[in-house]
Amino acid sequence: MTVTLTRRPGLAKLRSASARSPLHALCLGIVALVVLAALFAPWLAPYDPNEVDLGDALAGTGADHLLGADTAGRDTLSRLLVGARASLLGPLGVVAFSTVVGVAVGMAAAWRGGWLDSVLSRSTELVFAFPGLLLAILIISVYGEGLLAPVIALAVAYLPYVSRLTRSLVLAERMRPYVSAYQVQGHAPLSICVRHILPNIAPVVLAQATINFGYALMDLAGLSFLGLGVPPLTPDWGRMVFDGQTAIQHGYPLSAVLPCALIVLTVVAFNVAGEHWADRVARRTP
């Protein structure tokens, strides 16, 4: 039997135009620069990010400090570069945990159905009742400050979004003829899910993970601003905004404005890249 796949008229032209989007290219460039800065921060930073020099406190931009210094005389550029590591590592942990566990939960619920689907669906709905930031604050109050506690809390909060998306995608894939064909041939359900269904739904799940990364970065930066994220001496963009409040009052806003700008640019860049990828995947109609 021959199966013919059809596409919408002009779909190839739409995808080609989308791929040439200047905004998408710009956002990918921002993401690449931020990731490279985080990877090579120890070699790019001109100073130790925690080196205190009260003689350079609130120093303006110049040859010694290209982006100025904060109230403790710490170099702003060095703290931005090194702070990119903590600012990106936390969201990466949130997305990795929520995506892996969410895909497993959603796939199990969709494939098995019945009571297991009901239990898993109701469990994820209970998690929806707790805001992610509130859950993170509760866990931090028990285990203390640090990066691990808020990462675990936000990963649990983001898990239902991934699991519900995965469940709907797997339910749609189960209706396709190739799944029935593999079942007739005697393939195990786990093999069908992992080797055949998962690759088909991976583009949509990864696109959602990219969007979740931007939101997780913003949530963790907010927790650091409140003093509930990384320890005080750890360079982090959210913590830099908190530390820079005093500098703003003295007329030196760079130490607070620059990390704010980086947070906004990075979140927007990841969201645009993720939504662009999701739109391209959604246009593929068999």
Kindly list the distances between the CA atom of residue 112 and the CA atoms of 117, 126, 190, in Å, as whole numbers in the listed order. 7, 21, 11
Q: Give the separation between CA 153 and CA 120, rounded to whole angstroms.
A: 19
DSSP string of 10-70, one letter each residue? THHHHHHHHHT-HHHHHHHHHHHHHHHHHHTHHHH-SS-TT---GGGTT--SSSS-TT-B-
212 in Cβ contact with 267 (< 8 Å):
no
Q: Give the separation between CA 124 and CA 110, rounded to whole angstroms.
A: 14
One pLDDT digit (tens) per residue for the chain, 286 residues: 443 333 334 334 434 444 557 877 888 888 889 899 888 988 888 888 888 777 777 776 777 777 877 777 788 888 889 888 888 988 999 999 999 999 998 888 888 877 777 788 777 777 777 777 777 777 777 776 677 888 888 888 888 888 888 888 888 888 888 887 877 887 787 888 888 888 888 888 888 888 889 889 988 888 888 877 777 778 888 888 888 887 787 777 888 888 889 999 998 888 887 777 766 665 654 4
Among candidate residues 136, 105, 107, the one with its CA nearest the CA of residue 123: 105
Q: Give the separation between CA 208 and CA 189, rounded to whole angstroms.
A: 25
Per-residue confidence (pLDDT) for residue 94, from 0 to 100: 92
Among candidate residues 93, 238, 225, 228, the one with its CA nearest the CA of residue 159: 93
3-state secondary structure of 249: helix
Whole-number CA gyration radius for the chain? 23
Structure tokens at 228: 């509930």
Residue 200, burial from CB neighbour count under 10 angstroms (0-12, 13-18, 19+): middle
Q: Give the separation between CA 18 and CA 15, rounded to whole angstroms.
A: 5
Per-residue confidence (pLDDT) for residue 109, from 0 to 100: 86
Kindly list the distances between the CA atom of residue 247 and the CA atoms of 35, 78, 228, in Å, as whole numbers in the listed order. 28, 17, 21
Q: Give the separation between CA 124 and CA 159, rounded to whole angstroms.
A: 8
